[in-house]
Each structure stands twice: as C-alpha cells, then as structure tokens.
Structure 1
Amino acid sequence: MIQSPRLPGIFSVGLKLWLILLMVQLSNMLFGMTITIANVVLPQIKGTMSVSQDEASWSITLNLVAAAVATPLTGWLAGRLGWRFLMFGTVLGFTLCSLLCGLAPNLESLIIFRVGQGIFGAPIMPLGQAIILSTFPRHLQPTAIVLWGVGAVFGPVIGPVIGSMMAEAYNWRAAFFVLVPVGIGTLFCTWFALADYDRSERDRFDWLGFITLSAAIIALQLIFDRGHRLDWYDSNIIVGLTFIGCISFWIFIIHCCFANQPFINLRIFLDRNFSLGTVISFVMGTLAFTGLVLFPSLLHDLRGYPDSIIGLLVGSRGLGNWLAFLVIIPLTRLAPRLSVASGLLIQAFASYMMARFDLNVTNFDIVWTNMLLGFGQSIAFTPMAILAFATLPKLRVTEGTTIFTLMRNFGSSIFISLSVLVLLRSTSENYSNMSENISMFYESNVLPVLPVQWQLGQNLGLLQLSLEIEKQASMIGYINSFHLMAIVAILATPLAVLMRPVPK
C-alpha cells in the first residue's frame, strides 16, 4: 500500500514565519480592542457628553464606515509602499488616533478621531490575512489562519474587561489610553517581522472608482444613521443622499466594467466561492459587533450594572471564541462547509434565545448566550475564509482580502445603524401603545393598596409608571433587534452549502 508523504506541520516553519504570525496577531488584537472598548464605554460617553443613543453610536458606526471606505486602498498601498512600511504606518497612525480619542473634548472631535482610527486601522486585517496566505504553504494555511485569528479574538475579549475597569476606576478616556502601549509594542514587532520586498508594479490608482464607491457607502450609511431623526423621505437631505448614493454606485459599476485597471476588478466575483464567501462575510459582520453595541446600553440603562460587570458579561463572548479553537482545525480540514453552516445556525439560535430576554434576565443567561454566539462566529469564520480563497489565484489574494474585509466592516456599520433604528422605533411605538391604557381616570388602574409613589392620582405615581413603561418599551426594542440578528443568520446559512469544497 502506497502512502502519501507526510507534510511538515506548523511547528516546522522557521523563526521568520513565527515572527510574522506574532506581528499580525498583535495588530489584530489592537484593532479588535478598540472596537469593543468603545462599545463598553458608550453609556459613559452618552452621559458625559449629554448625547442620545443614536448620536453616541456614531462613534461606532462612522469608525466602521471609515474602515470600510479605506479598506479598498490596501492593495494599492501595499503595492506602492510594501508590507513593512504600510503596516508600520497604519499602526502608528492608529495609535496616535487612539491617544487623541482619549483627549477629545466633545463628541464632534471624538467622532473625527474615531474616523481616523478607522482609516488607519482599515489595512490591518486584510493585509495580515494576505501576508498569511502569501507566506505560509497551502497545507498550513488553515492552521495559520486559526492562529492569526487568536489575535482577532483576544482583542475583543480583553477589550471590554480592561476598558470597563479603566472606565470605572477613572473615566472613559482611560479606556482609549490603554491602547497606546499595545500600539507601541506592535510597532516594534512590525518593523522586525516584515522585510521590504513586497512592492509591485501597479503604480496607477483608480481615483474615480475609489471616489464613487466611497460616496455610495457614505451616503447609504448616513441614510440609516440620520433617517429616523430626519423623518426619512420627508427630508430633502435623505432624498439627496439617496440620489447621490444611487448615481455614485451606478457610475462605479459602469466604470469598473470598462476601465483597463479598475479600482476593483469585478471579474473576481466570477469565482463562486469568493462571491458566496463575500456575502457570508457581510452577514458575519452584521452579527459580530451588533450585540457588542446593544448589550452595554441594555445592561447600563435598564439594569443599572456598573461598567466593570458589563465588561465581564460582554467579554464572555470571547470564551466561546476560545472554546471554538479546540475544534476549528479538524472541522476546517474535514467538513468546512458543514462548519460554516453550523456556525451560522448556532449564531441564529443564540440570537433567538437573546430575543427571549426580559428585564429579569439573569447573568447566567447573558453569559451562556454570548458564549454560544462567540462559538458560532469562530467555527464559521475560519473555514469560510479558507473556502472563499481556495479557488482564487494567488495574484488576486490581496485584492480579495481587501473586498472581503470591506464587506465585513460595511455589514457591521450598516447593521449597527439598522439595529439602533429598530431599537429607537420599537421603543417609541411600544411606549405610545402601552401608555394609552394608563390614566388616572381609569378606576381599574387605581389601587388603594399601592404605596403613594405608585398611585396614579399623584404626579409622582405617574412619573414612576412612565419610567417603568419606558423601560419595558426599550426592552421590547432590544428584543426586536435580537430577532433581526437571528433572521439574518438563518437566511445566510444555505449559502455555505453552495460553496465548492477545498481542493486537496
């Protein structure tokens, strides 16, 4: 019986590859920390700057929009600057913007510096993924991608814990300052890990394609962010943004079809695995950060939890991510499509169970549902990334990872805005519906056994009841947002089955 030769394992690679792996792990951790740190201190930002829920969420959504817009620049910048200088520059700019976020005097300046974080942080994940796929042998890529994902998971895990503790001990600004030493350590590792040999001949940049795509993305994001406040299409601003977005996207598609060297080569979508993987990446983006935005406000505003407890509860999702690492590699090798489908279904189930929460939800329920959500995300993401690039030519890898990350960030930003919209709209409608049945003139609502502060004949009683109705209406809004997460995950599950198997 003839046996195939045994391929060398991950521990047989040289020191250079291990240093590269450490570098991309640190950079991923830095990028992941800033997202979850900002989420967990969102209630403090609301209170300190006296802004509403949707206004405070701009610091999250516009950061992701900036990352989505700047992500397509990664391939061109990598060709012009090389891996070393591009990664070093992005980490340096990202670290400086983190410092400035902590020094921001108002919401406007905080949003500007958060946008800077998004722009400088945009190349981190696609460039790191491209470096892994280009430097590691194909048979080691699943293992390398899993180890690369350790940083992406570790950052969001420790981000809420460290950020909430720093915010409770000092204030929300300290949560951004803690990113600075991590960024400095990443700079040193980046300089010594990467050699400057990765420049290409592609010097021409398609500015028309970049501008039109950016305009379309920004217009769509602003429509979701400002639509509720401006009463949608009763506002000329929303009508104008819709017109700009549609025209910009139409010009972008036509230009990319006929340009000699387009900003994004649309022929890359002829690869079935990559196209399906990109759609699933968009869905994974919608599920990745929405809960991280909703839970801190839910626990702070409706349950009165301190920041440190909120950080621990939200960070429990990372435990599910870590547990998934025990099975990701064998699942990716044996049944990657089944792993992707199972991960999406697990996320759908976890979201559905979150939609069954009420104001009496226990800490245990919050922890196990978040752990299950994190477990599903991890066992779906790695095999999905492997399948998406399995049939893609090596020359298209950097461009592919750029589009891949763009769709993930864009999915996150759009769905966060959509979830906040559902929350606000549901809260308003349910408050109106429930308050219609409350009146001091309804004899059925006047109970003599109630304490004075709850009697409807007293102003204090009406105020207390109004606050309770507002809490119940807000909880219904959160439940509707969790239902939306479950529906999106279920709809994306069949796409995993349509992907081609990984070639041996």
Structure 2
Amino acid sequence: MSSQTARTGAPAAPHNAGVSSGSNPWLIAVLVALASFMEVLDTTIANVALPYIAGGVGVSEDEASWVVTTYLVANAISLTASGFLARRLGRKAFFVGCLALFTISSVLSGLAWNLQSLLLFRIMQGLGGGGMVPVSQSILADAFPPEKRGQGFALFGVAVVVAPVVGPTLGGWLSDNWSWHWCFLINGPVGLFAMAMIAAILREPATEKRRQLQQKGRFDLIGFVLAATFLGALELMLDRGLEDDWFSSSFIIIVATICAVAFMLMIPWEISRPNPMIDLRMIATRQFGTSLLVMLGAGAIMFSTTQFLPQLVQQNFGYTATWAGLVLSPGGVVTMVMMFIVGPLSGKVQPKYLIMAGALITALSMYDLTNVYGDLGFWFFSRSRILLGVGLPLIFLPILAAAYDGIPPDKTDQASALINVARNTGGSIGVSLASNVLAHREQFHQGRLAEHTIPSSVPYKDTLQQVTDYFAAHGSSLAEAHQQAIAWIGQQLQAQAAFLAYMDVFWVLTLISLAAVPLALSLRKVKLGGAAPMAH
C-alpha cells in the first residue's frame, strides 16, 4: 500500500495498483465481511455446544473445552505471521489460501470421529482464520477511495462485532434442534461461495506484488517462534488456568514458565532486528501503545459478556441455549445500526472523545447488570446488551483512527495484526478474569451466607417453619416436608451466592470500562477525514 497521509493512519491504495482495481468495492466489502464473519463466529459458536460435543465424542465437558482453547491458540499464532505472509505471497493469494484452509478444516471438524481428530482440525481452522481478518482490512483499504473508506469499514465492522453475539445464538439453536456437527459444517457452503467469488473479483497486479517483494526483508523466523510461543502459551494459560487450579497444577506452571521465557527472549531479539516480526518500538509509542491497551479492555468486555450473560440466564433463570443466545440479539441489532452512525461520525469527531463516550456507556451497561436478582425478565438483560451495543462501536471504530495515526504505510499490516492480537488476547484475559472472580466470590458469598443459616438463628427457624408448612400443605408428610424445606433453603442460599458473585463480575467489568476513559484522554488528536482499517 502507498500512503495517504501519515497523520490519518489509514493506508491507501496506490493509483491503479490496488488489490481490487476495477471491481465493485461494495461487493468486495460484503464478501470480505462474510468471510471474516465466519472466522469470528467460530470463536464463540462452540461455547454453548460443548456439552453436546462432549457427549458426541465420549469425553468429559472439561476435555471438550479444548475445542475452544486450541482454536484460540492457533489463531494467536497465525496472527503474528499474517502481515509478512500477505506481503510475500500477495494479499489475494494469502487471503484465498487462508479461507480455503478455514473452510476445509471447518467441514473436517464437523466430520471428526473423536476428540483428537476434532482438535487437529480446530488447530487448522484457527491457523486459517487468524490470517484472514488482518488482511481483510488491507483489502478494504485498497477497495475504497479515501472519502468512502469509513462506510466500507462500517459494513465490515458490523460483521466482526456482531459475529461473537450471533455465535452463541446460532450454536445453541443448531445444537438444540440439529446437531453440534452443524456448528462447523455450516461454514462449508458459505466458505466455498465466498472463496469462489473473492478469487473471481479481486485483482492484484503483478507490479504491486513485485513492489511488495522488493521492499520487504527476510522472514524473522526466531522472532516468529518467540512471539508465537509467548502468545500461544499465554492463551493456553488463561483458558485452562481456572479448570486446572492455576499454579497448583504442574501443567500451568510449565506453560507459564514457557510464556515468561519466550517473552523475555523476544524483547531483546525483536529490538535488535531491522525487520522484526513484532515492532516493539511501535508498541512502546504513546499513541499506538495506548490504543492497544484500550483494545485489550474492549475485547475483555465483549467476549466476557458474550460468554457470561448467556451462562447467567441458563444456569439461574432456566433459559434454553437458544433463548440465552436471543438475549444478546437486540444488542446485535443496535450494534449494526451504530456502526453506520459511528463510521461517518469518526470522520468529524476526534477519536479520543468518541472512545471516552463509548467507555462511559459501556460502563453504564455493566453497572446496570450489577443489580441482578432472581425476578428479572428477558428485557432487563436485553436492555443492558442494547446499551453495550451503543458503547462498543464508539470504541472499536475510533480506536483504529487513533492507533494508525503516524504509522508508516509499510507498517500497517503489522499494526493491523497487533490490533487483532490485542482484541483476541483481551478477550481471553477478560473471560479468565471473570471466571476466576465468579468462582472465588461465589465461594466467599456462600460462606458468608451460611454463617447466618444456622439452627439457632431466629430468621432461619422462622423460614424453615414457613417452608415446611408449605410443603406439608401440598401433600408431603411432616418429615418429608422438613427435609424438602432444608433442601429448598440450601438451593436459595446457592442461588443468592451466585447472584452476588455475578454482581462482583460486572463490577470488575465496570471498572475495566471506566479505565478506558483516562487512556482515551491521553491520546493525541488526529487529522480527520480518513478512516483506519477496522480491527476484528
């Protein structure tokens, strides 16, 4: 890509040299968004299907959770090399190749005959998917003229922000009504269509490919291995930590050690390279480094709420997997509308102010959920998700205008990959943090509530008598009614402990949202009028 201005941070295509020269940019945007939608969808679609997968391949649900872990680890590893490979092979060839690998491995995942084969195909799927989304941003940057680029990225943004919301809904419905296999098989026909259309309409002139080859240095293999090891081990530790009891597990200790060693070796190596796999000097700048931190927080909010809100209504309100997914749907609709509002708005208002507004609205959404209790209905949860659907687009689109500000054109592919790494890693950190808060605070609250549930307590004795009378009036013998009353009180205690623990989770997410406000204020002003590529 040749540059627009460095201050806009938006890579622009050279005249008559873009990937999509002569093609309809809106058609390219739809196809690229469709391919990226599938990839992002697969980060969440399997979550609600894990009990079905466990039963289907004859393993425990804990073992089945590796289906999610392996995908995230492979995705993180692939992201680190996507920029270099796209430049070396050409964006069109690399994108179509990644899409082909993703589509084939999706079908194979649906046809897997045991857990080992499923994990292998999910690793292949993650490797293919990790390379698609960063390159999608560069393809779109070349497809649209600068004045319309914001609209193109808004369409792309709809796909990649709404996909994690659709994932649990679609996964739940397919698992409830068809089979868990269709959570993966559904990508087959869609992927073949997108692959054929993209191969037919994208154009990448030979002159552009030669220019890219001449400008880029050798592949930083050691840097790639160190970065991939660090990110892969970090994802693995975050995803498996709670289930393996963190540092009480020798496995987690080994993974954490590998992660730390890879990180410590990566820093001096990458700083000393002329063409590093990860440009640490770029990360260390105030503008790009702050943008990465905000993206980490946004990813944490998006992924943790997408996982824990359906979990809350399923476990504590009796929702089916399908209805739990539908709780997220109104927020998805609002997100789609907001993307087309924020796109043009980001060309008129400084990103720092939009991000600050989005962070405050997101914090309000999380604060709303701290009022959770047992008599709430469907629309309470949907309302909080609608608020989140307003807030997150005000963060996701403007943060890119800020992140790309001052980035030279030959670094935009790497910047795109790092932004995606930040979003994915933030999601893993958010889910891991929320899981630990939920588990430990539920134990804490259960212990505190149990202190007051003792035979000598007057409120306990009054409640026990009233509930015993209720069960006796409905046909139970006095002895049976007494046992039923004790069991009922125990269930209520566990339910209240769970509600209090979820309140603590949403308080933590509220604080994460508010932390983005001072970070946003530290960003410098950018030149308005261009649009940065949309991160997945």
TM-score by length of 1: 0.88
Which residue identity does 2:449 align to in structure 1? M
Change (3 A) 1:217 1:412: same
Q: 1:99 aligns with which of 94, 102, 107?
A: 107
C-alpha distance after superposition, 1:109-130 (max 9, x if no partner): 5444333322211122211112
Name the stretch that deviates more: 379-388 or 228-237.
228-237
Q: Distance in 2 between matches of 1:260 and 1:408?
A: 27
Q: 1:466 aligns with which of 490, 494, 516?
A: 490
Q: Distance in 2 between matches of 1:393 and 1:153?
A: 27
SS at match of 1:469: helix
Is residue 495 of structure 1 aligned with residue 510 of structure 2?
A: no
Equivalent position of 2:129 in the other structure: 121
Q: Would you say the 8 A contact 1:324–1:378 is kept in 2?
A: yes
Q: Structure 2 unaligned runs (5+)?
A: 1-20, 529-536
Q: Would you say the 8 A contact 1:102–1:173 is kept in 2?
A: yes
Is residue 362 of structure 1 aligned with residue 377 of structure 2?
A: yes
Equivalent position of 1:78 in the other structure: 86
C-alpha distance after superposition, 1:467-486 (max 9, x if no partner): 44333333333222222211
Equivalent position of 1:477 in the other structure: 501
Change (3 A) 1:384 1:148: same
Is residue 164 of structure 1 aligned with residue 188 of structure 2?
A: no
Q: Distance in 2 between matches of 1:139 and 1:283?
A: 30
Q: How far does residue 68 in structure 1 lie from its aligned partner after superposition?
A: 1.8
Change (3 A) 1:250 1:347: same
Q: Would you say the 8 A contact 1:39–1:296 is kept in 2?
A: no
Q: Distance in 1 between matches of 2:449 and 2:426?
A: 33
State the Cα RMSD in Å.
2.8
Q: How far does residue 160 in structure 1 lie from its aligned partner after superposition?
A: 4.0
Q: How far does residue 282 in structure 1 lie from its aligned partner after superposition?
A: 1.4
Q: Percent identity?
A: 28
Equivalent position of 1:303 in the other structure: 317
C-alpha distance after superposition, 1:402-423 (max 9, x if no partner): 1111111111122212212222
Q: How far does residue 222 in structure 1 lie from its aligned partner after superposition?
A: 3.4
TM-score by length of 2: 0.83
Equivalent position of 1:352 in the other structure: 367
Equivalent position of 1:207 in the other structure: 221
Is residue 241 of structure 1 aligned with residue 233 of structure 2?
A: no
SS at match of 2:295: helix
Is residue 18 of structure 1 aligned with residue 26 of structure 2?
A: yes
SS at match of 1:35: coil
Change (3 A) 1:361 1:218: same
Q: Distance in 1 between matches of 2:32 and 2:405?
A: 21
Equivalent position of 1:323 in the other structure: 337
Q: How far does residue 367 in structure 1 lie from its aligned partner after superposition?
A: 0.9
Q: How far does residue 318 in structure 1 lie from its aligned partner after superposition?
A: 0.7
Q: Distance in 1 between matches of 2:158 and 2:470?
A: 55
Q: Distance in 1 between matches of 2:192 and 2:286?
A: 40
Name the stretch that deviates more: 197-206 or 242-251.
197-206
Q: Distance in 1 between matches of 2:231 and 2:354?
A: 31
Q: Distance in 1 between matches of 2:190 and 2:384?
A: 30
C-alpha distance after superposition, 1:253-301 (max 9, x if no partner): 0101112322112232355432222221111111121111112222222
Is residue 34 of structure 1 aligned with residue 52 of structure 2?
A: no
Q: Would you say the 8 A contact 1:42–1:297 is kept in 2?
A: no
C-alpha distance after superposition, 1:422-468 (max 9, x if no partner): 22222233334434444567674341424157979855544444344
Q: Would you say the 8 A contact 1:355–1:483 is kept in 2?
A: yes
Which residue identity does 1:91 align to in structure 2? L
Q: Would you say the 8 A contact 2:358–2:391 is kept in 1?
A: yes
Change (3 A) 1:38 1:462: same
Name the stretch that deviates more: 264-273 or 364-373.
264-273
Q: How many residues align?
A: 491
C-alpha distance after superposition, 1:5-31 (max 9, x if no partner): xxxxxxxx9634333222211112212
Q: How far does residue 398 in structure 1 lie from its aligned partner after superposition?
A: 0.7
